[in-house]
């Protein structure tokens, strides 16, 4: 539709510009504009998304934490260790804390460390010595001493952590 086909304006206000580009021509120009605007939106939103994701997806920096002296860890029973270690949390220097369960299969020669975080929804499991199993208080997930799932909702065994012994001190990598 040409501009001149529009209902006339109030003469006091003025009149439509007869020489203006027809709407069709202008809309064709608008396609170019739309493409540019779309490109602009992508140019802004992609870096914005990258900015928002930030360093979320980077694997956490592994750290060795001290679990205790060999002599302090039980050779037969499961020992609960609440560790705390200095570390970086985003831009902040903090004391990171967590729970690890340690046991030995060979009378204290070597140790196995399990992350105490339930594989279901992340609660900390409790070791029940009398029943010889870990129980998650949140949704009643049960694990064997070795961390295998006995029953309940957990999808995976408890995470086993790398362990090393140096100068009679046991460390686990978290």
Q: Would you say the C-alpha torsion 50, 52, 53, 58 has a positive or negative sign?
A: positive
In terms of CB distance, is 38 or 60 closer to other proteins?
60
Round to whole Å and give the CA distance between 167 and 38: 63
Find the binding residues for other proteins in span 152-171 (CB under 8 A): 152-155
Compute CA distances 124 → 148, 155, 166, 172, whole Å: 15, 15, 27, 17
Options 3, 75, 138, 169; binder of other proteins; rule CB under 8 A: 138
Tell whether residue 124 is a contact of other proteins (CB under 8 A).
yes
What does the alpha-carbon distance between residue 132 and residue 12 come to, in Å, rounded to a whole number? 94
Work out whether 99 is an interface residue with other proteins (CB under 8 A). yes
Stretch that binds other proteins, among 9-17, 28-36, 88-96, 165-173 (CB under 8 A): 88-96
Cβ 161 vs Cβ 59: under 8 Å? no
> 169: which residues sit within 8 A by CB, 6+ positions away?
66, 68, 69, 70
Binding mask 38-67 for other proteins (x = CB under 8 A): --------------xxxxxxxxx-------
**128 lines the binding site for other proteins (CB under 8 A):** no
Residue that the structure tokens 């990171």 belong to: 96
Nearer to other proteins, 31 or 62 (CB): 62
User: Residues 6-25 vs other proteins: string with x where CB under 8 A?
Assistant: --------------------
Residues at the contact surface with other proteins, assessed by CB under 8 A: 52-60, 82, 89-92, 94, 96-99, 116, 120-126, 137-140, 149, 151-155
């Amino acid at each position: 539709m040409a501009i001149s086909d529009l209902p006339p304006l109030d003469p006091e206000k003025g009149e439509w510009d007869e020489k203006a580009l027809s709407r069709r021509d202008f809309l064709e120009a608008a396609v170019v504009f739309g493409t540019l605007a779309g490109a602009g939106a992508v140019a802004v939103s992609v870096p914005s998304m990258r900015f928002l994701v930030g360093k979320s997806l980077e694997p956490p920096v592994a750290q060795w934490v001290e679990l205790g002296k060999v002599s302090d860890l039980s050779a037969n029973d499961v020992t609960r260790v609440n560790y705390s270690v200095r570390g970086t949390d985003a831009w902040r220097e903090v004391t990171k804390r967590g729970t690890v369960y340690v046991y030995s299969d060979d009378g204290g020669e070597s140790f196995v460390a399990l992350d105490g975080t339930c594989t279901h929804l992340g609660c900390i499991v409790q070791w029940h010595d009398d029943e010889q199993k870990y129980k998650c208080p949140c949704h009643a997930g049960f694990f064997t001493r070795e961390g295998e799932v006995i029953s309940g909702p957990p999808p995976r065994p408890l995470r086993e952590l790398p362990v090393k012994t140096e100068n009679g001190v046991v460390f686990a990598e978290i």
